[in-house]
Amino acid sequence: MGDAELTVLVVDDDFRVANMHAGIVNALPGFTVSATVNTLAAARKADPVDLALVDVYLPDGSGVDFVRELRCDSFILSAATEAETIRAAVAAGALSYLVKPFIPADLAARLAGYARYRKILSGSNLTAQDVDAALDALRPKVATQQPSVTATSPTRQLVLQALRAADGPMSSAEVSSAIGVSRATAQRYLATLAAAGEVKTRLRYGTTGRPEQEFVAAPPEATRRGQRPPAGV
């Protein structure tokens, strides 16, 4: 691999999410984003890269099918948690499957692990220990830290209030509009609240396109007991 930077293609139907993922990649030493695209058609026209970060639900097809076509390494970054989809992604060749929403540190850790994997496999006459170390690098042990969203944060309270006052589940875009913050900020707080068990997540299926993640406030009694509610319905 040498000292050359690892090139990355980001494929996500939401250009804001694609740009957010690209920002995480570009912030890591040794990585550079070659392109961000929002469709399969554009992804297939992109220049060759070392690694592709691919969503499952794209407007003109499945990201899993694209991964199967690739001659480079790939990660799946998706809200899809169906067992069949995950098995298909692994069978297609994805080295990692990261479930949205996630904090930037999660993706950064997977990328750093991928760099170690590439470095180990750049050698020749590898030992069994080298092979184990390379594969272990793809599953880094990430500390269970959350973004700096404290229990007394005004924005955190606004997010919870918006969810509790809503007539039904809300998407991150609806939360951001309701309380006047960016969608990225809303996603960050929602991810932290979901990890703490104060918010439940599920998928909203429309008539076209990929399902959208939506959020509802957990019942107050579950939060008081410190119980984490089921991750969906």
For 3-46, how does the pLDDT look when each residue is reduced to its tens digit (9 = 90+)?
679 999 999 998 888 988 998 899 889 999 999 999 999 999 99
CA dihedral of residues 24, 194, 213, 148 (deg, nearest 10): -30
Q: Under 8 Å CB-to-CB from 74, ≥6 apart: which residues?
A: 51, 52, 53, 54, 67, 93, 94, 95
Domains of the chain: 6-137 (3.40.50.2300), 154-224 (1.10.10.10)
Residue closest to 49 by CA, chosen among 90, 85, 11: 11
What one-character DSSP code corresponds to residue 231? S
Low-confidence ranges of the chain (pLDDT < 50): 1-2, 144-147, 222-233
How many other CB atoms are there within 10 angstroms of residue 173's CB atom?
14
Yes or no: say if 164 and 156 are a contact pair by the CB < 8 Å rule. no
Token reading at 194: 């979901």
> Please, what sign has the CA dihedral across residues 170, 174, 178, 180?
positive
> What does the pLDDT read at residue 223?
45
pTM of the model: 0.64
Which long-range contacts (C-beta less than 8 Å, at least 24 apart) are formed by 76-85? 77/12, 77/21, 77/53, 77/102, 77/107, 79/203, 79/211, 79/213, 80/56, 80/211, 81/232, 85/56
Classify residue 2 as left (phi > 0), alpha (psi -120 to 50) or beta: left
> What does the pLDDT read at residue 116?
95
What one-character DSSP code corresponds to residue 43? H
Yes or no: say if 64 and 80 are a contact pair by the CB < 8 Å rule. no
